[in-house]
């Protein structure tokens, strides 16, 4: 199946392949090509039905096929998401930042800003932030340290259309969430956060004063506003020897 210049699928109604199967295949291709990366949230069923020019029932059937295949998952009240390629336990955590956690524990930290500039994001990041191709976002790169040394390397991508001029904020003194909520009046409500273990790349190792290939914790997050719009995507690498991530869990 091909797509027209606007990126919309070319649904063929005079071929033996069922329309819902064509839609499923179109979505598979977007996922396989990286246009819809893990954790990408699809449009609502009515919006997809309008985009494909079909009934909502046809879209629902196409999505059901992909859910059965494990490519998509539905979260009640949140929508339909592209699944991750790794197993992700559902861990309920308070949505706080490293700087907020350090402050609450009385830990003194410093922040070095390595980059704060507007860029055209990679396609997977643009998809997760739900911005049109070519739209500029803030790319914020920081190293956070305690008296023991660097503990985290943070790459944040923030929608500049929701926070104009954010590239001028002094993030050595201000936290990202603090700026978004305080200076721009945005209400941060939720996030999807995943953890994994990685071997430190050369860049990560240099930033965290580690040997290349040393184990680090990797955190990936998409942050949403109260109106469900994504506002920020982040990649964070944590020095496992200096910082442990602990979850306090309760059995329902």
CB 171 within 8 A of CB 144: no
Interval 148-178: pLDDT, tens: 899 999 999 999 999 999 999 999 988 899 9
- Picking from 195, 82, 92, 163, the residue whose alpha carbon sits closest to that of residue 128 is 82
Cα–Cα dist 90/88, whole Å: 6
Interval 131-146: pLDDT, tens: 988 899 999 999 999 8
CB 111 within 8 A of CB 143: yes
- Residue 90 has a pLDDT of 43
The domain ranges of the chain are: 19-82, 98-238
CATH code of domain 98-238: 3.40.1410.10
The mean pLDDT value for 196-213 works out to 94
- Residue 251 has a pLDDT of 59
Neighbour count for residue 8 (Cβ, 10 Å): 12
Compute CA 222 distance to the chain's CA centroid, rounded to the nearest angstrom. Answer: 3
CB 143 within 8 A of CB 112: yes
Whether 1 shows a pLDDT value over 60: the answer reads: no
Interval 12-60: pLDDT, tens: 777 777 888 889 888 988 888 788 888 899 999 999 999 888 999 999 9
How many H-runs (helices) and E-runs (strands) does the chain carry?
A: 7, 8
- Picking from 123, 32, 31, 21, the residue whose alpha carbon sits closest to that of residue 81 is 31
Give ∠ CA 24-25-26 in degrees, rounded to 5: 90
Fold of 19-82: Arc Repressor Mutant, subunit A (1.10.10)
- Picking from 99, 7, 86, 108, the residue whose alpha carbon sits closest to that of residue 39 is 86
């Amino acid at each position: 199946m091909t797509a027209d210049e606007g990126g919309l699928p070319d649904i063929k109604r005079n071929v033996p392949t069922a329309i819902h199967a064509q839609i499923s295949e179109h979505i598979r291709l977007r996922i396989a090509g990286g246009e819809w990366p893990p954790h990408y949230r699809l449009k609502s069923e009515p919006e997809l039905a309008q985009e494909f020019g079909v009934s909502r029932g046809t879209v629902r059937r196409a999505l059901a096929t992909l859910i059965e295949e494990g490519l998509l998952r539905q979260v009640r009240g949140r929508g339909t998401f592209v699944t991750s390629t790794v197993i992700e336990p559902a861990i309920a955590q308070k949505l706080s930042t490293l700087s907020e956690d350090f402050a609450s524990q009385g830990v003194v930290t410093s922040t070095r800003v390595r980059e704060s500039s507007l860029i055209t994001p990679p396609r997977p990041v643009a998809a997760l932030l739900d911005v049109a191709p070519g739209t500029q976002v803030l790319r914020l790169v920081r190293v956070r340290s305690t008296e023991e040394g660097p503990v985290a390397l943070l790459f944040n991508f923030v929608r500049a259309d929701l926070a104009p001029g954010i590239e001028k904020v002094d993030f050595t003194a201000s936290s990202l969430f603090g700026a978004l909520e305080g200076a721009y009046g945005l209400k941060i409500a939720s996030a999807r956060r995943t953890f994994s273990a990685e071997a430190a790349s050369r860049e990560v190792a240099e930033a965290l004063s580690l040997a290349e290939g040393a184990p680090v914790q990797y955190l990936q997050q998409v942050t949403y506003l109260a109106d469900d719009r994504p506002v920020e995507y982040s990649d964070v690498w944590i020095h496992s020897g200096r910082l442990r991530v602990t979850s306090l869990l309760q059995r329902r």
